[in-house]
């Protein structure tokens, strides 16, 4: 942690908050990289606008007044913006019951209880799927549905942000330790951990002159930190998704799903059971 005062995020009572020993220089490096590399793409505000667009779609489709009308095509349209999900959900949804999935989404997004129940809701959602390697994307689906439907309440809790079981993610990449390659971090991948991480990054951003859209900048910073890790590893992570010639922010966009839909054709990156790509017939319906 950096020793800054905490943000106004609601804190969970009666629970010891995790302490995250984060490396300021690593965070600063990724922050400077996303700022500098975005100049050739219209500046960082272009990426802020893209995240806002994704957020607005999720908020509209998953709002309490609209979610009862959620249909399969619209749901697949949302999945186009979730990189770990879009290559796998098409085959699953053709062989399973969408109405059951819809009920699980409604339960996941229910606001009953306090925030201590967030982890329980995620576990219940994931429990509706087979608990094997082929369905690890389900955690990412739950995390993104929560986050982008209500960004202020839910930090981004995808596996690439932190996955305790594999000891991988953003938290490891910015952990302050000289021998990090030989350490297994004792950090639980819970709502509270991700909330503390967002508080720390938000305070970092504020101290570096970001006072508007801080939560969106925090998402971009998370994505850039993990994108830097991918680049350092030679692009081995999700190589099938990142096979083309890359620009400096290709991984960053991909982690946040900002490349999910071709705005001209409506063709998405959602792979259907027949091997074809989902095409959205009405892009306006998604906005």
What is the rounded distance in angstroms from the CA atom of residue 129 to the CA atom of residue 101?
Answer: 9
What pLDDT score was predicted for residue 88? Answer: 87
User: Domain of 127?
Assistant: 24-286
pLDDT, one tens digit per residue, over 174-232 is 999 989 999 999 999 999 999 999 999 999 999 999 999 999 999 999 999 999 999 88
The pLDDT of 81-101, averaged and rounded, is: 87
Question: Is residue 120 a part of any domain in this protein?
Answer: yes
Specify the residue for token string 């991480």: 197
What pLDDT score was predicted for residue 232? Answer: 84
What is the rounded distance in angstroms from the CA atom of residue 157 to the CA atom of residue 192?
Answer: 10
Question: Is residue 129 a part of any domain in this protein?
Answer: yes
pLDDT, one tens digit per residue, over 32-65 is 999 999 998 899 999 999 999 999 999 999 999 9
Percent of the chain at pLDDT > 70 equals 79
DSSP calls for 32-78:
HHHHHHGGGGT-HHHHHHHHHHHHHHHHHHTSTTTGGG--HHHHHHH
Percent of the chain at pLDDT > 90 equals 65
Question: Is residue 19 a part of any domain in this protein?
Answer: no
Question: Is residue 219 a part of any domain in this protein?
Answer: yes
Question: Is residue 16 a part of any domain in this protein?
Answer: no
What pLDDT score was predicted for residue 263? Answer: 62
Question: Is residue 6 a part of any domain in this protein?
Answer: no
Report how far Cα 31 is from the mean position of its chain's Cα atoms. 17
What is the rounded average pLDDT for all residues in the chain?
A: 86
What pLDDT score was predicted for residue 247? Answer: 77
Within 13 Å and on the Cβ side, how many CA atoms surround 231?
A: 18
What is the rounded distance in angstroms from the CA atom of residue 205 to the CA atom of residue 202?
Answer: 5
Whether this prediction's pTM lies above 0.75 is answered by: yes
Beta bridge partners of 22: 175
What pLDDT score was predicted for residue 270? Answer: 61
What pLDDT score was predicted for residue 6? Answer: 42
Pick from 42, 57, 85, 80: nearest CA to 258: 80
Confidence of residue 285 (pLDDT cuts 50, 70, 90): very low
What pLDDT score was predicted for residue 4? Answer: 38
Pick from 116, 118, 117, 139: nearest CA to 127: 139
Query: What total of structural domains would you count in the chain?
Result: 1
Question: Is residue 180 a part of any domain in this protein?
Answer: yes
Question: Is residue 34 a part of any domain in this protein?
Answer: yes
How is residue 79 written in tokens?
Answer: 């999945």
CA-to-CA dists, residue 129 to 11, 108, 133, 139, 273, angstroms: 30, 14, 11, 10, 18
What pLDDT score was predicted for residue 245? Answer: 55
Among 3-17, 116-130, 168-182, the least confident range: 3-17
What is the C-alpha R_g of the chain?
Answer: 18
**Comparing 176 with 6, which gets the higher pLDDT?**
176
Confidence of residue 135 (pLDDT cuts 50, 70, 90): very high
Contact 167, 184 (CB under 8 A): yes
Among 127-136, 182-191, 196-205, 257-266, the least confident range: 257-266
């Amino acid at each position: 942690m950096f020793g800054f005062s905490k943000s106004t995020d609601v804190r969970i009572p009666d629970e010891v908050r995790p302490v995250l020993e984060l490396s300021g220089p690593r965070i600063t490096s990724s922050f400077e990289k996303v700022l500098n590399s975005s100049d050739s793409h219209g500046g960082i505000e272009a990426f802020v606008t893209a995240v806002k667009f994704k957020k607005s779609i999720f908020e509209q489709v998953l709002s309490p007044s609209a979610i009862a009308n959620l249909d399969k095509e619209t749901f697949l349209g949302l999945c186009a913006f979730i990189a770990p999900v879009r290559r796998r959900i098409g085959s699953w949804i053709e062989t399973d019951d969408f109405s059951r999935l819809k009920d699980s989404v409604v339960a996941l997004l229910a606001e009953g209880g306090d925030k201590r129940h967030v982890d329980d809701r995620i576990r219940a959602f994931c429990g509706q799927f087979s608990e094997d390697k082929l369905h690890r994307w389900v955690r990412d689906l739950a995390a993104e549905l929560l986050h982008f439907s209500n960004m202020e309440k839910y930090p981004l809790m995808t596996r690439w942000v932190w996955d305790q079981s594999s000891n991988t993610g953003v938290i490891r990449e910015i952990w302050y330790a000289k021998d990090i390659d030989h350490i297994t971090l004792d950090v639980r991948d819970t709502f509270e951990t991700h909330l503390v991480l967002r508080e720390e990054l938000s305070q970092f951003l504020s101290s570096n002159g970001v006072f508007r859209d801080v939560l969106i900048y925090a998402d971009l910073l998370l994505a850039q930190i993990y994108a830097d890790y991918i680049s350092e590893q030679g692009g081995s992570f999700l190589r099938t998704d990142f096979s083309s010639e890359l620009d400096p922010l290709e991984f960053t966009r991909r982690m946040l799903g900002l490349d999910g839909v071709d705005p001209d054709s409506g063709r998405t990156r959602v792979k259907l059971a027949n091997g074809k790509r989902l095409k959205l017939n009405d892009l306006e319906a998604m906005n």
